[in-house]
């Protein structure tokens, strides 16, 4: 400790007395003046340091308090979005209910205005669904019957082999020269004499044909072809049966005793 009588610090402390001017500054909280007191203890004399009370060190907050604060923050965020979601859901539910009620009222008014009853509506549904199912079944069992006219020409090209005996008729007079003729008469006998013979037209001669005749021509064809195609043996069978399966559950809901065209029950 400095005992110099000219020490300016000692003179200042005598003027101020035992009070420290730093302790008169405004405090932010109860733990912010700890650094001030530490500095004061370093500068103050030993006897004053013992008189200045030392503040206890700040205590750490327990983990439960931190968790409670985090929980309160999360509950605060949920409390913001929760009521908004419930409000939107309530508005949508009320809107849908109002629309359904309006639709039911319109249907009821329409039924009353047309003079229809529940039984008549069921009969209409039975007739409608039964008609659809029956017509789909008829379409599957139907046949396509028609006549197809064929008018065309067919090319014909081949070799015709002839090997047979036949008779030919001369269309004009035929002269045969240097023919060997034998004539036996009562007063004249000629044996194998060269002569010229004229065969008149219309003379029938037996001949033997042995030749190949090439044929290259076109033949006109005109036919009437009947056609009968069952649809249950074509690719249309699958869509027709599929349509029957689509209608069948609704048809059975209205008429549990529904039958097909053969009288067999379809609601099994």
Taking the chain (268 residues) in runs of 10, the rounded mean pLDDT of each run is 58 60 54 45 44 49 49 54 74 86 79 60 73 90 91 92 89 86 77 83 89 91 92 90 89 86 86
C-alpha span between 45 and 17 (Å, rounded) = 12
What pTM was estimated for this model as a whole?
A: 0.38
For 143, the token pair is: 């046949």
Residue 257: what pLDDT? 86
Dihedral sign from CA coordinates of 123, 128, 129, 133: positive
What residue has token string 């074509």? 234
End-to-end CA gap in the chain: 115
Residue 155: what pLDDT? 93
CB 207 within 8 A of CB 163: no
For 212, the token pair is: 């190949």
Residue 34: what pLDDT? 46
CB 246 within 8 A of CB 257: no
Residue 20: what pLDDT? 56
209 three-state secondary structure: strand
C-alpha span between 192 and 184 (Å, rounded) = 11
What dihedral angle (degrees, nearest 10) is formed by the CA atoms of 30, 36, 37, 38? Answer: 120
What residue has token string 């101020």? 16
Q: Point out which residues pair with 230 in neighbouring strands.
A: 143
Q: Provide the H-helix boundaries in 142-211.
A: none
Number of H helices, E strands in the chain: 6, 4
C-alpha span between 200 and 191 (Å, rounded) = 23
14 three-state secondary structure: helix
C-alpha span between 237 and 142 (Å, rounded) = 10
C-alpha span between 22 and 20 (Å, rounded) = 5
Residue 12: what pLDDT? 64
């Amino acid at each position: 400790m400095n005992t110099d009588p000219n020490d300016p610090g000692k003179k200042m402390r005598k003027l101020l007395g035992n009070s420290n001017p730093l302790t008169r500054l405004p405090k932010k909280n109860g733990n912010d003046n700890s650094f001030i007191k530490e500095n004061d203890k370093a500068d103050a004399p030993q006897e004053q340091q013992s008189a200045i009370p030392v503040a206890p060190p700040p205590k750490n907050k327990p983990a439960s308090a931190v968790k409670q604060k985090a929980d309160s923050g999360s509950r605060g965020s949920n409390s913001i979005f929760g009521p908004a979601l419930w409000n939107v859901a309530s508005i949508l539910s009320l809107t849908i209910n109002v629309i359904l009620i309006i639709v039911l009222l319109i249907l009821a008014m329409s039924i009353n205005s047309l003079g229809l009853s529940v039984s008549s509506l069921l009969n209409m549904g039975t007739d409608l669904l039964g008609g659809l199912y029956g017509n789909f079944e008829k379409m599957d069992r139907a046949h396509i019957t028609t006549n197809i006219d064929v008018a065309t020409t067919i090319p014909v090209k081949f070799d015709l082999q002839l090997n047979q005996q036949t008779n030919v008729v001369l269309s004009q007079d035929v002269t045969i020269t240097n023919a060997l003729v034998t004539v036996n008469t009562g007063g004249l006998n000629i044996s194998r004499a060269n002569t010229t013979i004229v065969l008149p037209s219309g003379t029938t001669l037996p001949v033997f044909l042995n030749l190949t005749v090439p044929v290259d021509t076109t033949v006109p064809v005109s036919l009437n072809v009947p056609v009968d195609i069952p649809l249950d043996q074509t690719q249309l069978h699958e869509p027709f049966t599929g349509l029957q399966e689509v209608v069948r559950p609704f048809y059975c809901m209205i008429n549990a005793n529904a039958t097909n065209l053969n009288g067999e029950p379809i609601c099994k």
